[in-house]
Structure 1
Amino acid sequence: MDRNQLFQQIQKKRSFLCVGLDTDILKIPKHLLDKPDPVFFFNKEIIDATAQYTVAYKPNLAFYESLGWQGWESLEKTVEYVRENYPEIFLIADAKRGDIGNTSNLYARAFFEKLDFDAITVAPYMGEDSVKPFMTYPEKWVILLALTSNKGASDFQFLQNEETGDPLFESVLKTSQNWGTPENLMYVVGATKAEKLSEIREIVPHHFLLVPGVGAQGGSLEAVAENGMNSQCGLLVNSSRGIIYASAGEDYAEKAGEAACKVQEDMEKLLKGRKLI
């Protein structure tokens, strides 16, 4: 999926919502545990209830890897289900990979060929040769960690470059623009750092930003939109727990749909305010 196609989906659905499929076997409704594959069954029901309101899904790989081969099987079935039933949806592997070149080549093959994701989150710490292998696939995306929403982000991401005076996250943004383009490179910027979004937009005005931290983590959707939107929206705002765990009862899918609908309605107002729809 290219950038224009992604923007067209945002306009069509009047939404820039990404639903995080952070499916924890310990948190899904107890009555599902008797199913042959409870994780996939939960995902399937959540997807069917929310697909009309979202432009992207983002499975966090840790929740699947923790279950061994059964988790990988659930993940593969989830990806196949989206591809078969909702081919317009943008699929993000929240894998945070990043290793030496030949290893990154294999990660890229796994997530772009074997599992057919549209994008993968990548850690930039090891530099260009660890990122570029993911960029050799046409219409596939790297989503580079830039400024994250977790408390520990301050341990390294604000350290200043002695030569330029830039904090580390700004160095990541500036340097990585030599590796890719707005057509294949996005950045992770946490919603809890919304006050930094306007500064980030000055550095990367045209790139899409994946913004976690809205909802359960307390980030403000309005602040993210005010500081981060560009002429093609340029945002995928992720909500995980606030949607998929809206209910722990038998109405879990219905409540997830209602929660996603509420976010979509708020996003529609913000898109209209910017005259993007």
Structure 2
Amino acid sequence: MTREDLIAEIKTKKSFLCVGLDSDLKRLPKHLLKTENPILEFNKQIIEATKDYCVAYKPNIAFYESMGPEGWRVLEETIQYIPSNKFIIADAKRGDIGNTSKMYAKTFFETYNFDAITVAPYMGEDSVTPYFGFDSKWVILLAATSNSGGLDFQYKSLTNGKMLFEEVLEKSKEWGDSRNIMYVVGATRADILQKVRAIVPDNFLLVPGVGAQGGSLRKVVENGMNSACGLLVNSSRGIIYADDSERFAEVAGEKAKELQQEMENYLKEYSVI
């Protein structure tokens, strides 16, 4: 999906919501365990309930590859079920040198036809640039995450006065641009969002942490939105596990709609639509 296509979908849906498909057999509604393929059935019902309110889906690859060959089959069928106008992110967090990165890129961009993949940039340029050899595909670099362990490295000050994540952002601008690079930025640190946006004003940011993790959508918008929206805000647990009864899909749709309506107001407020 191109940048223009993504922006058009945001304007059409009046939303910048990404629904995370972190589908865990242990957290599925009990009645689905009686079906032939519980996770696939769960994903299909979640997609059907939320597709009118989101612009992207983000399967967390670990939840699928942990099941072995069957998990990869479920992942493939899930992707095929997602409408073609949605931006599909492989939340794989890969990060390895050139030849290996090429194979990861081939796996997720060609074999499974994802639009984007999350990548850890800490092995440098030759671990990232192999993903750029595919038309209309995106790399989403881990930039400034909000997990507690992020403090171990990402926010350390370097001798030049910059924090490590700032150096990563600056360096990555030499590898790609706003048409093929996005950045993962946690929702719980408004001050960090400001710093990120100052360095990469035009790139899209994938922002997890709104909802169950305590991030504020208002703060994310205030510190991260640009004239093209420039945001994909992910919600996983707050939507897909909002209810564990036979109404789980209906409730998931309601939660997605609530976020979409809030997002529509922000898009109007910031003159994106």
- TM-score range for the pair, normalised by the shorter chain length: over 0.9
Matched with 2:58 is 58
1:39-95 superposed Cα distances (whole Å, 9 cap, x missing partner)? 11100000000000000000011111121111111101001111xxx1100000000
Q: Please tell me the residue identity of whatever aligns with 1:245.
A: Y
* Residue 220 (structure 1) aligned with residue 183 (structure 2): no
Structure 2: distance between partners of 1:245 and 1:66: 20
Q: Aligned match of 1:238 in 234, 258, 265?
A: 234
* Residue 100 (structure 1) aligned with residue 103 (structure 2): no
Aligned pairs for 1:27-106 (under 5 A) are 27-82=27-82, 86-106=83-103
**Secondary structure at 2:142's aligned position in 1?**
strand
Structure 1: distance between partners of 2:267 and 2:100: 40
Structure 2: distance between partners of 1:203 and 1:153: 19
Q: Aligned match of 2:145 in 139, 143, 148?
A: 148
Alpha-carbon shift at residue 159 of structure 1 (Å): 1.2
Alpha-carbon shift at residue 21 of structure 1 (Å): 0.3
Q: Please tell me the residue identity of whatever aligns with 2:203.
A: H
Structure 1: distance between partners of 2:95 and 2:72: 20
Q: Aligned match of 1:157 in 136, 154, 157?
A: 154
Structure 2: distance between partners of 1:97 and 1:123: 6
The answer to whether the 8 Å contact 1:21/1:58 transfers is yes
Q: Please tell me the residue identity of whatever aligns with 2:165.
A: F
**Secondary structure at 1:192's aligned position in 2?**
coil
Runs of 4+ in 1 over 3 A off after TM superposition: none
Structure 2: distance between partners of 1:88 and 1:194: 31
Q: TM-score, normalised by structure 2?
A: 0.99
Structure 1: distance between partners of 2:271 and 2:97: 43
Structure 1: distance between partners of 2:262 and 2:32: 31
**Secondary structure at 2:51's aligned position in 1?**
helix
Gaps of 5+ in 2: none
Structure 2: distance between partners of 1:12 and 1:268: 10
The answer to whether the 8 Å contact 2:227/2:271 transfers is no
Structure 1: distance between partners of 2:146 and 2:22: 16
* Residue 252 (structure 1) aligned with residue 248 (structure 2): yes
Matched with 1:189 is 185
* Residue 115 (structure 1) aligned with residue 100 (structure 2): no
Alpha-carbon shift at residue 194 of structure 1 (Å): 2.1
Q: Please tell me the residue identity of whatever aligns with 1:114.
A: T
Structure 1: distance between partners of 2:189 and 2:170: 18
1:113-135 superposed Cα distances (whole Å, 9 cap, x missing partner)? 00000000000010000001111
Alpha-carbon shift at residue 202 of structure 1 (Å): 1.0
Structure 2: distance between partners of 1:195 and 1:24: 33
Q: TM-score, normalised by structure 1?
A: 0.97
Structure 2: distance between partners of 1:5 and 1:46: 23
1:108-166 superposed Cα distances (whole Å, 9 cap, x missing partner)? 0000000000000000010000001111111000000000021111010011222x211
Gaps of 5+ in 1: none
Structure 2: distance between partners of 1:212 and 1:193: 11
Structure 2: distance between partners of 1:3 and 1:62: 27
Alpha-carbon shift at residue 4 of structure 1 (Å): 1.3
1:166-187 superposed Cα distances (whole Å, 9 cap, x missing partner)? 1000001000000001000000
Structure 2: distance between partners of 1:215 and 1:194: 15
**C-alpha root-mean-square deviation of aligned residues, in Å?**
0.7
The answer to whether the 8 Å contact 1:128/1:179 transfers is yes
Between stretches 108-117 and 188-197, larger displacement belongs to: 188-197
